[in-house]
Amino acid sequence: MLTKKQHELICFIADRLAETGVSPSFEEMKDALDLKSKSGVHRLISALEERGFLRRLPNRARALEVVKMPERGDAKKPATKSNVVAMPRPAPQPANDVVEIPLHGRIAAGVPIEALEGSTMLPVPAALLGSGEHYALEVAGDSMVEAGIFDGDYALIRRQDTARDGEIVVALIEDMEATLKYFRTEGSMVRLDPANRSYDPQRYRPDQVRVQGRLAGLLRRY
């Protein structure tokens, strides 16, 4: 028999899959169940997996499959004073889910992001990623050091073709040079700002710049 929260979660996932074909993000599941952290979502999903209700599909973020649905009314009722039995509290489980995303190599001049497709995959903690499709790039250079992004870091990028002022994006300049910079609009121009006072901002016409994605997270190896 499922707990009330387990029952609520699998129903929420099933409804979202039926509506959009994509399972909800951990943030959406946390909000829908009014949980305080994503680790609670991880524990519920693990419990539903163990009971054969859910299955996680490998190598894909936000890839959940509903194997079976609980029968109507198959949820534990909240405990009352008459049926409470003291049980030891289980130790919290770490939120250590890992997904693999494409690693497209170093951000290099002369190579569009689309041309960097390859078979190399980078394992990433799921908690670093939100909704959407992601890929990783190895950072080259020091133009973003004042934003805490250093040479050799792995930038985790959410694929999208639009950006808001102040977001750090991967921008493709004149379909040739890919760069990681702050995105800003300046009148009729697009300004790409480094995070290093040794470098100057770059200004382009909107037709010269294509946004390839937004920085979603950062991975550093020591």
Average pLDDT over residues 88-111: 60
Q: Which residues pair with 213 in a beta bridge?
A: 170
Given a contact cutoff of 8 angstroms between Cβ atoms, the answer to whether 215 and 147 are in contact is: no
- Please count the other Cβ atoms lying within 10 Å of the Cβ belonging to residue 196: 15
Report pLDDT for 51. Answer: 80
Domain with CATH 2.10.109.10 in the chain: 98-219
Range with the lowest mean pLDDT among 34-43, 91-100, 111-120, 183-192? 111-120
Predicted TM-score (pTM) of the model is: 0.55
Write the class of the CATH domain 4-66. mainly alpha
131 is catalytic: no
Of the chain, the end-to-end C-alpha distance in Å amounts to 45
Domain with CATH 1.10.10.10 in the chain: 4-66
> Which one of the listed residues 5, 25, 30, 181 is annotated catalytic?
181
Select, from the ranges 9-13, 37-41, 126-130, the one with the highest average predicted confidence (pLDDT).
9-13
Q: Output the CA torsion 119→168→210→161 (10° steps).
A: 70
Q: Convert the pLDDT of each residue in 102-145 to its tens digit.
A: 888 777 443 445 545 555 888 888 877 878 889 898 888 888 99
> Which one of the listed residues 25, 37, 143, 198 is annotated catalytic?
143
181 is catalytic: yes
Q: What is the C-alpha to C-alpha distance for residues 193 and 172, in angstroms, rounded to an integer?
A: 14
Given a contact cutoff of 8 angstroms between Cβ atoms, the answer to whether 171 and 181 are in contact is: yes
Q: Does domain 98-219 have CATH number 2.10.109.10?
A: yes
H helix runs in the chain, sequence order? 4-20, 26-32, 38-50
The distance between the two most distant Cα atoms of the chain, rounded to a whole number of Å, is 71
Range with the lowest mean pLDDT among 39-43, 68-72, 174-178? 68-72
